[in-house]
Amino acid sequence: MSLIESKEKGLYCKQADVYIDPWKPVDKAIITHGHSDHSRKGHKAYACVHSSKAIIRHRLGPINVTSYAYGDSFTVNGVQFSFHPAGHIIGSAQIRVEYKGEVWVITGDYKLDDDGISEAYEQLQCHSFITESTFGLPVYNWPNQNEVYDDINNWWSENAEENKTSLLTAYSLGKAQRILHHLDVDIGPIYCHGAIANMNDALIEAGVKLPYYEKVTPELKPDDFKNALVLAPPAATGSAWMKRFKQVSIGVASGWMALRGARRRRGADRGFILSDHADWKGLNMAIKGTGAENIYPTHGYTSIFSKWLVAEGYNAQPIETAFIGESLEVETETP
């Protein structure tokens, strides 16, 4: 019997009767981070890190949640749980689980690069490592993030010169704040779609610092946006909400933009390769760094990535995520 098992409701620790990021309602849930496919509604009790609490409350309303500092631990029936930075978004954590000297780590989502706004990834050691593998193919190699920020600012300033609005889509939690943090505020005004602005409010309340921006409201006229950069969630681009912009260039910031096909499919004018997940090199480095023998990839190209790890000498086996099987291009509000 493994310390952590993959059950119908999610990853489960039987010894402690605790689930990690369960997708169906349970009694006790430890949450790695605030994205909606990891923190779902309906659990009786939630545990997460302090900075994640505001996010989860913002999403799920008044729930019963206990929060911890990174590094803090608690023990249930002899099993010790602790939270460690995953570098994915603000408040994201890897969950370390120890029982009678055996150590498991569940990464949730993670990236190795320090994005300047999320708590930076901590390399843990363990025996068994449940790792995400969203971008577990050798074609996914991220460019230097500072070059990408430069590209975004250059694109914005070129558009601004032509009095064109720059509309950049990014997930409302994580990516949006990361980009906000690196925008060159001298180029022009910055606006955020309501969904992002609301998330920002929750984060600012929790102590996160963000540059000045305005919320897109119905009173604003097309001219107000002419040299602006507007941040919006991906779903907004196909909606009536877009009609308020006259001359607009659409950019997409996502790891999926690494492939031409994906970018052309979105019909975006510009794709910026910016991801909050580990790339191929990052995944392999993290796995090596744990010293673990047993690796369980989940999310993304799990079967291909597992086969690769086996060839590399690991004990690797994919964990299929419920509902979506092996995940198709993740178009929902996750990475």
Partner 1 sequence: MKHFTDLFVALDQTTKTTVKVKALVRFFQQASDQDKVWVIALFSHRRPRRTVTTSLLREWAAEKANIPLWLFEETYHVVGDLAETIAKVIPNEDLKVDSNAVDLSGWIAYIMALKDEEEAIKKERILSAWDQLNMEERFLFNKLITGGFRVGVSQKLVTKALAKFTDKEENTIAHRLMGNWDPADISFEELILSESVSDDLSKPYPFYLAYALDGEPEDLGIPNDWVAEWKWDGIRGQLIRRKGEVFLWSRGEELVTDKYPEFDYLSSIDCPDFVIDGEILGYQDDMPLPFQQLQKRIGRKKVSKKTLADIPVVLMAYDLLEYNGEDIRTKSYEERRLLLKGLLPEFIFPDTKVILSQQQDFKSWDELAKLREESRERRTEGFMLKKKNSDYKTGRKRGDWWKWKIDPMTVDAVMIYAMRGHGRRANLYTDFTFAVWKGEELVSFAKAYSGLTDDEFREVSQFVKKNTIDRFGPVRAVKPELVFELAFEGINESSRHKSGIALRFPRIKRWRKDKKAKEADTLVYLQNLLQQ
- The verdict on 313 binding partner 1 (CB under 8 A) reads no
Asked whether the beta carbons of 271 and 254 are under 8 A apart, the reply is: yes
Identify the three-state secondary structure at position 122: coil
Q: Alpha-carbon dihedral of residues 150, 153, 154, 159, nearest 10 degrees?
A: 160
Taking the complex as a whole, the smallest distance from the CB of residue 284 to partner 1 amounts, in Å, to: 11
Q: Which is nearer to partner 1, 106 or 258 (CB)?
A: 258
Instruction: Tell whether residue 325 is a contact of partner 1 (CB under 8 A).
Output: yes
By CB under 8 A, tell whether 259 contacts partner 1. yes
For the bound state, the minimum distance from the C-beta of residue 260 to partner 1, rounded and expressed in Å, comes to 6
Complete DSSP assignment for 256-294: GGGSHHHHHHHT-SEEE---SS--HHHHHHHHHHHT-SE
Residues binding partner 1: number (CB under 8 A):
26
Stretch that binds partner 1, among 45-53, 59-67, 168-176, 300-308 (CB under 8 A): 300-308
**To the nearest whole angstrom, how small is the minimum distance from the Cβ of residue 297 to partner 1?**
14
Which of 46, 110, 213, 308: binder of partner 1 (CB under 8 A)? 308
Applying CB under 8 A, which of residues 11, 124, 137, 257 lies at the interface with partner 1? 137
CA angle (256, 257, 261) in 5-degree steps? 90
Which CA distances in Å does 133 have to 108, 233, 269, 301, 326? 10, 23, 28, 6, 11
Site string for partner 1, 139-178 (x = CB under 8 A): xxx-------------------------------------
- Among 233, 275, 28, CA closest to 132: 275
* Assigned token pair, 126: 């363990």
Pick out residues in 261-280 that bind partner 1 (CB under 8 A): 261-262, 264-265, 267, 269-270
| Phi, psi of 283, deg, nearest 5 | -60, -45
Contact by Cβ (8 Å): 170, 276: no
Question: Least distance to partner 1 from the beta carbon of 228, Å?
Answer: 21
Q: Between residues 34 and 271, which has the closer beta carbon with respect to partner 1? A: 271
Instruction: Name which position in 100, 240, 243, 328 contacts partner 1 (CB under 8 A).
Output: 328
What is the DSSP track for 191-223? EE-HHHHHHHHHHHHTT------EE--TT--GG
CB of 128 or CB of 327, closer to partner 1: 327
Q: With respect to partner 1, which residue has the nearer C-beta, 197 or 258? A: 258
Of 212, 204, 187, 271, nearest in space to 237 by CA: 271
Nearest to 333 by CA among 196, 241, 235: 235
Stretch that binds partner 1, among 20-28, 31-39, 69-77, 138-146 (CB under 8 A): 138-146
Task: Select the residue interacting with partner 1 from 100, 212, 260, 313 (CB under 8 A).
Answer: 260
Residue 295, token pair as written in the block: 């690796």
3-class secondary structure, 253: strand
The residue range among 76-84, 215-223, 228-236, 253-261 that interacts with partner 1, by the rule CB under 8 A, is 253-261
Residues 61-120 binding partner 1 (CB under 8 A) are none
Residues of this chain that bind partner 1 (CB under 8 A): 137-141, 258-262, 264-265, 267, 269-270, 301, 304, 307-308, 311, 324-326, 328-329, 331
